[in-house]
Amino acid sequence: MRRALAGLALAGLLAHCTHDFDSFEVGTAGGAGADAGTDASSGGAGGAGAVGGGGSGGIAGTGGAGGSSGAPIDASDAPSDSPPDGGCGPGEKPCVGGCARTDDPAYGCASPSCVPCSFAAATARCDLQGQCTPDECLPDREECDGDPGTVCETNVHEDEANCLGCGLGCALANAVARCSPGGCVVDSCVVGWDDCDGDDATGCETDLRSPTDCGACGTDCSSLGNYTCVNRQCVANPCAAPLADCDGVPGCETNTDTSAQHCGYCSNACGGAHATGTCAGGQCQLVCDSGWGDCDGVASNGCETNLGTSSAHCGACQRACSSAGAVSASCSGGVCTSLCQPGYGNCEQPAAPSPDDGCETALATDAANCGGCGRACSTVNVSTAACAAGRCTSTCTPGYGNCSQPAPPAADDGCEIAVDADPSNCGACGRVCSSTNTAARWCSAGQCAPTCSTGWADCSTPAAPAADDGCEKNVQFDPDNCGACGRSCSTANVGTRACSGGLCAPLCSAPWLDCSQPAPPAADDGCELNGGADVANCGACGRACSSTNTATRRCTAGACDSTCTAGWGNCGQPSAPSVDDGCEVNLQSTTAHCGGCGRACSNVGVTGGATCAAGLCTSACSGTLGNCSRPAAPAADDGCEADLATDATDCGACGHACSGANVTAVSCSLGVCDPVCDLGRVSCTTPAAPTADDGCEASRSATHCGVCSNSCDAQNGKICASLGGLEVCRCDDNNSCRNGGGSGTCNSGTGKCECPINEVCRFGESCNSGSDCSCNGGAKCTGADTVVCCQDPPGCRDLATDAFSCGACGRECPPGFVCQAAACRCDQASDCDGGGSGTCNASGLCVCGAATCAAGERCLASGTCG
């Protein structure tokens, strides 16, 4: 804004600053500005009142308004013209009982009065002559008329002639425009026009006579068929497009595709300000006057844009002044003259039609314009010129440095300093060779090459521009530089690297060992020995696996697990650092390691202590127990595992198994096989061990009915038969029914005796002398029909429910079983244990694994039923 105010005449400005103090005492209003008469210039500014401001200038043809009246000044606050004792110095004047500087606008600059400089729309400053002058316009004001008497007179937020800037008119197509802080906006539209696109920049762009916006935005007559717009109403079109009746005389005289006066529709004339219009295809086409352009695309307002001054269309419609690097864009004579951002310069200023490039030059980085247009970086000792932050940072020829880098506007001096041998600028400007752990500093060919203190080394030697770090490595303790630069302690099989006294001393990863520890300059070999597998260094350096009683020495996971000679075991395996003892155990005779390390002979059922011979446990057993299985290593020994009194697989002796031939349930009792036979079979012999058992070797007969000792023949000569699912003694003839002189008959159909008193006897009964039924000469049997007379065990037995005579006289169910419907059935899981475990199902049948047994069968040690 100071630039805008610089051209104002000083004479007009002095009127604001040179008023006498006396004229402000009573606070009167400022005088009105002079009338400008009838010309177009503004009126004069009003006079200033005491403390109050001066009046504003009048608009064209009228005088300015009077200034506001100032508040009366209290005598105690009024500036005093009396100097203090001793007077004021040069550049000062007496004010308010003291001295004020003559360049301070708050005290009227060099004016004899101490009244502050005041401008209605601008801040104030003192010029070189000590006169009050405007400094900067207020934010919403600009100096547009160039009149010294009307400083910053234009409110660019309200003035349609200067909207947001001097000379920026606020005219919008077919609209009444209004200036706002955001620019020109549509205040209202001319009758017959509307702002349909909502864009203030195009004004009221839509003619409401248009068939596509007939009377209102978006009302398209074509949606009704062949309709057109007349008086802003959709009516039927009497003509075939593109013809139309535009003169009011019936007929289709106008071609709206080509008529410049009726282009597209009646009365839509092509042309406008600064333009010549034509019509083609129902669309207006404009030929603009020189220096003007139809930039808003609204044909009705002609070529509305001044291409010589519009920053948005500078020299051409589509050529906006670039904002690149610019604070504000401006246009003069069709050339962009933008105000640049700090660090950028508008050095090229291309003319239309070339696009504008804004403030294209980065003064901070352009070596040809470094810090200012035309300020080139020097080529003295330079290989590549460069600019950064407005200073020349050129790449120098070898051995030189660009160290001073003078700031603009001073000329650049290139690469002025040699940097190849100076320890204070070694390889780069200001790069000092470090004194850290050094005995002497040196610079050679731009590299720091110090003499190091004892125990330290210069290993990194960073190149410029990196800072030098002196003798940065302690080669006594650095595992990457152990004993010498670059001598790295190996990571081979290492958990944690370490260096001590210049030698590598790593913490090894198990099972590796560091046994050699080579000294510099020899390369370190890390943890070079596998202590988990090396028989000479098993678990520790030098710890060898013993050869005592070994066939092959071996080391596994740091423990000696050598292959032993036959009959010996490596059972102890002492861990490092203890010495290895080889194969120290005799596996043939040691009861704690019988046949294998850790395989102890069991004491279960053993008497007199466990024993081992030839790698097998040969312990003596107590009571009825037997050491029958004698498992070989590596299976664990089970001691005296067999009960010879009850074990059906070792009944009476090891290996003497009760036979399953014709047997329902295998059983051993007191060392003798005592099976439950299948119906129709009996066991009359019980071979003792070692003779093999023969199971239920005999078929039923008159003398062996159910069990070997149950004789039907002894029951008055009856025979053994299977009737109704039971094995019974039945009559064979009438004689077999007569006992002791009694009389009776045999019913050959039922096999039962019938006595004279019409009594039907039970199976096995005969008629006694009293002609009544009798069991073995005694009382007759009673109860269920399944009760029969048995000879052994003697008496009446219910073959359907008696567990000791189940299905046949003397046929005993396995221990724990019950008799149901003449069949032996379990009622709990323990009943099913016949050497192997099982379960009892709801039907009273044993279940051995996946197999369901038949009635009376149990689970054997083999897991099968029997």
Mean pLDDT calculated for residue range 281-295: 88
- CA-CA-CA-CA dihedral for 162, 164, 165, 166, to nearest 10: 10
Backbone angles phi, psi at 494, to 5 degrees: -105, 135
Mean pLDDT calculated for residue range 280-294: 89
- pLDDT digits over 10-51, tens only? 333 333 333 332 322 223 333 333 333 333 333 333 333 333
Output the pLDDT for position 109: 94
Output the pLDDT for position 18: 31
Structural element, H or E, at residue 292:
strand 292-293
265 neighbors 210 (Cβ within 8 angstroms): yes
Provide the pLDDT confidence category of residue 829 given band limits of 50, 70 and 90.
very high
Percent of the chain residues topping a pLDDT of 90: 33
If DSSP codes are grouped into helix, strand and coil, which group holds residue 299?
helix
Strands 529-530 and 417-418: unpaired
pLDDT of residue 200 exceeding 50:
yes
pLDDT of residue 743 exceeding 50:
yes
Provide the pLDDT confidence category of residue 146 given band limits of 50, 70 and 90.
low
- pLDDT digits over 375-402, tens only? 999 999 999 999 988 899 999 898 888 8
Provide the pLDDT confidence category of residue 168 given band limits of 50, 70 and 90.
confident
pLDDT of residue 358 exceeding 80:
yes
CA separation for the pair 666, 660 (Å, rounded): 6
Output the pLDDT for position 251: 87
CA separation for the pair 53, 177 (Å, rounded): 32
Output the pLDDT for position 605: 87
CA separation for the pair 494, 539 (Å, rounded): 15
- What would the two tokens of residue 677 be? 């036979």
pLDDT of residue 67 exceeding 60:
no
| Stretch among 136-140, 396-400, 546-550, 800-804 having the lowest mean pLDDT | 136-140
Provide the pLDDT confidence category of residue 167 given band limits of 50, 70 and 90.
low
Output the pLDDT for position 182: 84
- pLDDT digits over 593-605, tens only? 998 999 999 899 8
72 neighbors 26 (Cβ within 8 angstroms): yes
Mean pLDDT calculated for residue range 659-672: 85
845 neighbors 855 (Cβ within 8 angstroms): yes
Mean pLDDT calculated for residue range 559-571: 92
| Stretch among 141-155, 189-203, 205-219 having the lowest mean pLDDT | 141-155
CA separation for the pair 697, 465 (Å, rounded): 111
Provide the pLDDT confidence category of residue 205 given band limits of 50, 70 and 90.
confident
pLDDT of residue 2 exceeding 50:
no
- pLDDT digits over 594-646, tens only? 989 999 998 998 998 889 999 899 889 998 898 988 898 899 988 898 888 88
Q: Burial, 371: exposed, middle or buried (Cβ in 10 Å; 0-12, 13-18, 19+)?
A: buried
How are the residues of the chain apportioned to helix, strand and coil, as percentages rounded to the nearest 5? Answer: 5, 25, 70
pTM (two decimals): 0.39
345 neighbors 338 (Cβ within 8 angstroms): no
Output the pLDDT for position 825: 94
CA separation for the pair 602, 594 (Å, rounded): 10
Output the pLDDT for position 89: 87
Most confident of 319-328, 750-759, 835-844: 835-844
pLDDT of residue 758 exceeding 60:
yes
Ramachandran class of 76: left when φ > 0, alpha when ψ lies in -120 to 50, beta otherwise: alpha
Mean pLDDT calculated for residue range 353-374: 89
Q: What is the mean pLDDT of the chain?
A: 83
Provide the pLDDT confidence category of residue 497 given band limits of 50, 70 and 90.
very high
CA separation for the pair 291, 302 (Å, rounded): 13
- What would the two tokens of residue 321 be? 């002044």
Output the pLDDT for position 85: 42
Provide the pLDDT confidence category of residue 498 given band limits of 50, 70 and 90.
very high
In order of 48, 54, 58, 826, the CA distances from 64 in angstroms are: 12, 10, 4, 131
Amino acid at 752: K
Mean pLDDT calculated for residue range 478-483: 93
